[in-house]
Copies of this chain bind each other. A is one copy, B any other.
Amino acid sequence: MQRYFIDQALQPDQLFKITSEDAHHMKNVMRFRPEDTFHVVDQKQTTYLCEVAEVSQDIDCRAISPVDESPELPIEVTIYCPLLKGEKFDWMIQKATELGAHEFLIYEADRSIVRLDDKKRKKRLERFSKIVKEASEQSRRQVIPHIDFVPAVKNLDFDAYSRLLFAFEGNALNPAKSIQSAMSGVRHGSRIAFIFGPEGGFSEVETEQLSKHHSIRLGPRILRAETAPLYALSAISYSFETPASD
């Protein structure tokens, strides 16, 4: 069922308006008529079954009743990833949103190929925000991932996370663990972060700066920069969302 996100809290039978781009989509793409139904995720991340009351400049809608669903990963996963060449970053964040990522933080990697000034970053963030919003609607999420630019590794603070997993094949000082063993003890409700390198990988300075964190293997094959986050999120979903017996 079609889904939209709004910035207000709803309750059963409440009347509300949908405006601007979403109103345009409802009128001209979905061609909604009065009594057509759809889902709205409100400010409190509650999903409501709603119906169209009247279609005018805006769409007058009525919240019917809350929908019982839990589409969010039980662990909040932040993906640290530098910008990638071409459309790779666009589709990584689209897929990673489908796979349940909670946040994307774009850091300045020593070997980043793509570097943008503030004006370009602002425009890029607008496009990224549109991509993750649409992917959140399509994949039926209750949360639109947050996305922003952050500084280089040496200036990042990872204290907010119960674990930082560093996608790096490891070295003598910091042998890579399997993702399972690196995740052991992580509980539902935890916040964790994965940090991924650019196409050219992490610099020696970065691997030194990250060496106190768990370096992890994502299987025995070499994954491209844009593929690794999808593996990590799928593995988290597989191990925390789908019970071994049902």
Q: Which residues of A contact B (CB under 8 A)?
A: 69-71, 91, 95, 98-100, 138-141, 177-181, 184, 217-224, 227, 230-231, 234-235, 237-239, 241-246
Contacts and interface: CB of A to CB of B under 8 A. Distances in A.
B237 A219 contact: yes
Q: Is the interface of A mostly helix, strand, loop or mixed?
A: loop
Given A99-B223, A221-B98, A221-B139, A238 B91 contact: no
Contact of A178 (B98, B222, B242): B242
Contact of A99 (B98, B221, B238, B241): B221
A189 to B, nearest CB: 17
Contacts of A99: 219, 221, 223, 227, 231
B223 A139 contact: yes
A1 to B, nearest CB: 10
A120 to B, nearest CB: 24
Contacts of A244: 178, 180-181, 184
B246 A181 contact: yes
Given A138-B224, A246-B181, A219 B241 contact: yes
26 contacts: A69-B220, A98-B222, A98-B223, A98-B224, A99-B219, A99-B223, A99-B231, A100-B219, A139-B221, A139-B222, A140-B221, A178-B243, A178-B246, A180-B242, A181-B243, A181-B245, A184-B244, A219-B234, A220-B241, A227-B230, A230-B230, A231-B238, A235-B235, A235-B237, A235-B238, A238-B239
Contacts of A138: 222, 224
Contact of A140 (B222, B237, B241, B243): B222
